Every structure is written in C-alpha cells, then in structure tokens.
Amino acid sequence: MIRRATAIIQHPGTHRVFRLRLRLRRMLFAAVLLAPASHGGLGLDRAGALGLRPDGMHRVRGQIGVAPEGDACPACATWSWLDVIGTNSGWSHGSVRALGNCRDEDGPAHRHRRPDPNPDWHLCVGMLPAVDRWGWIDAYRSIHPSSLSAVISAAALLLDGPEPAPAPVPAAPAMPASPRRQMSREEEEQILKRADELIARVEAILREFDTGR
C-alpha cells in the first residue's frame, strides 16, 4: 500500500490536488500506526492511534519497520508525515503547501535516515489531525473516529484498485551546448490525459475522506 500511495504522491498530475497529497501521507501514517509489527507497523488499535501523542510517538518510533526500498518503507512514510505536521505547527499554511507539493527524492535513498527537518511535531496536540477539503491541517484537533474509519476504507480502495502508473522518469538534462527539446502539443495532451486518469482513480479516496469527516 505504501508503494501504491507513493506512486500517486510522486506523480506530477497529483500537484493539482494539494489536499490529496496531504491525505495520502496521513493515510500512510495511519496505516503504520495500525498495521501489525509483522508488516512494519506499531499494531495500535483505533483508540491508541487517535490517542497517540508526540511523547508516545517518540518512544515507539524505533519500533517501526524498514523496507529495502524507500518508496515502500514504513519508517520513511512516518518521516514524511512528521515533516508535514511539524511544518504545520511551526510555520505558515503556505509552507505546508510548498512542502506538500514537493516530490520525494528519487532512488533507493531512505528519508528516515536523515534528521527530522521540522522537530516542531513534538509540539502537536495529536499525530492524526484533521485535514479539511482545502488542505488546512487542524493543529488543535485530531480526526474523529469515524474519519479514521474512512481513512481505513480509503486504504482498502487503494489496495483493491488498479496499480497506479509510476511517475514518469525525468529526462536527463541536456548539455549546455545542445538545444532544449520542445514538447509537442500531442505529447502535452497525452501527459495531461494520463494525469486526469490518475486523479479520476483517486477521486473515490477523496470522497471517502470528505464523507467520513
């Protein structure tokens, strides 16, 4: 599930739906909290996940599993979500939006091996805050239990759906002396069409989140 959600987060077409990136990252973090230890998670029940506070997260973080690939790593998914809520706690909404629109580094590198860029997550009220339809993160209130159920349902939708298309590999930069290749209108239309198809597949996830809140 982490690999599938990461493919959507990384896809350029997802930039058009800022709140989707945030909710996908929150969904991955919720999955890490709820998944059994055999799957790299913490094995919490719903009440434990909703009641988790920063001090508790600090104590159990070392128990989160690590996968060989960074795009499927529970510890990396956790690192990314802590970066989001830490930024939301100490910076502006614009900073959160800028962070949400950033793609993770390509390749096998693991994010969780780096220091936390925004340790202000230690100041958060809860680890699973509400995210409204405009992408605002509630710094003072955790999601409702029914919303967590909607997140779990969305995760099941993601697992049962088709495999998301991987993000296109960026072309190697041209040599300074070489002319820059221009994208044709047909190529641009094909890229936008693929992006629209990707967003259409995850609209069901957004609907689950909105109705669950």
pLDDT 10s digits, 129-163: 888 777 778 877 788 898 898 888 888 888 887 77
Q: What pLDDT score does 59 carry?
A: 95
Gap between the Cα atoms of 104 and 66, Å rounded = 17
Cβ neighbourhood burial of 91 (10 Å; 0-12, 13-18, 19+): middle
pLDDT 10s digits, 63-88: 999 999 888 999 999 999 998 888 88
Q: Name the residue with higher pLDDT: 12 or 84.
A: 84
How many domains, in total, are found in the chain?
1
With 0.85 as the threshold, say if the pTM is over it.
no
Q: Which domain holds residue 168?
A: 2-212
Beta-carbon count within 10 A of 174 CB: 10
